[in-house]
Structure 1
Amino acid sequence: MQVTQDTEVTLAVVEPRDLPAFKADMEASFAVAVIEAFGCLPDGSIPSGDDLDQSITAPGTVVLHILCDGQRVGGAVLVIDGETHLNSLDLFFLSAREHGRGLGFRAWKAIEAMYPETRVWQTHTPYFEKRNIHFYVNKCGFRIVEFFSDRHRDPHSPGPSGLPGGGEIFRFEKIM
């Protein structure tokens, strides 16, 4: 599918019956980055099934398909706080075959438009994910505000993430 100026990128809420396919698509997308960086996957899925289940059932969670001209090309898991308007992009992915075509940026703009009352967006990404760091900082306008490692642990995470590379993670914010 060729991406042009009039290619439509939209969002749709994931129905409960679609969650298994959504999870599988996300795991496949995340696996590509891990394999590129480390040559293989660790035991288990990335993110783990338990982590993903916990993420998609948390209060305020919205699970979305990213659609390009009506076809599923990725997804997002958001946590929306209607009181503080401090919202979180917990998970964001595109199918590997869709990378580098501008769809991620269009999807992010659609998410911003869906939640115009947001004061601050927050997200995280592993240190080895250079493509994500470029995307969030250079394309979407996020700023790196914190780096979690064995010397500075994430107070909201119980321990190692299971990610290769020691679980080092950047935290980003975008003030709207």
Structure 2
Amino acid sequence: MMQVNIENTVTLAIVKKEELQKFKRDLQEAFTAAIVETFGSNSDKPIPSEKEIGESFNSSGSIVYHILANGKKMGGAVLVIDEITQHNSLDFFFIYANEHSSGIGYKAWKAIEEKYPKTKVWETHTPYFEKRNIHFYVNKCGFKIVEYLNKHHLGAHALDDNKLPGGEDFFRFEKIMKQ
């Protein structure tokens, strides 16, 4: 019998107001899992902090999406879209841990790029220890590391009170889009 390979169709769906609390918990669970995987434990504080998530959700131009594969929730993304400059930000991006390495993240990123074709520059950040994220952004999605943020160089971004177990070192990435 011939096997048929059904590709995942990945789409984005706006998170409804009544879904934001669950979305926030899912986001924190995904980020915390990476810290536990790397360091074996986590502080009692949720990561990212309520403050960081709230600031992102409430930023001017913020759009919160579910990532769906064949209609099933697989993760989420928080974007900040600047309609004037088209220098847009990927504030948060996560795929549920049991769906890692399935290609969903890459397809979700491509769906985001297709949804915002006027974007000139995408920006995002990730902690230095997040090797999976660094690989994903640089090798899969075409971002470039443009800044190393640390206690000696905070850049334009102040660090939150909620320090990660691995310290406050982050990479800032940019992807310049072809117009």
- State the TM bucket, normalised to the shorter chain: over 0.9
Task: Return the letter of the residue paired with 2:48.
Answer: P
Runs of 4 or more above 3 Å deviation: 158-161
TM-score when scaled to structure 2?
Answer: 0.93
Q: What pairs with 1:80-91 in structure 2 (closer than 5 Å)?
A: 80-91=81-92
| Residues 122 and 171, structure 1, Cα contact 8 Å, conserved in 2 | yes
Task: Return the letter of the residue paired with 1:116.
Answer: P
Q: What pairs with 1:38-117 in structure 2 (closer than 5 Å)?
A: 38-117=39-118
Shift of 1:5: 5.6
SS of equivalent residue, structure 2 residue 107: helix
Q: What pairs with 1:15-26 in structure 2 (closer than 5 Å)?
A: 15-26=16-27
- Inter-CA distance 126–158: structure 2 relative to 1 (3 Å threshold): closer
Task: Return the letter of the residue paired with 2:62.
Answer: T
CA deviation digits over 1:119-154, x for unaligned, max 9? 000000000100000000000000000000111113
- Inter-CA distance 5–172: structure 2 relative to 1 (3 Å threshold): farther
In structure 2, list runs of 5 or more residues that go unmatched. Answer: none
Shift of 1:158: 4.9
In structure 1, list runs of 5 or more residues that go unmatched. Answer: none
- CA separation in 2, counterparts of 1:158 and 1:136? 21
Task: Return the letter of the residue paired with 1:110.
Answer: A
| Residues 160 and 166, structure 1, Cα contact 8 Å, conserved in 2 | no
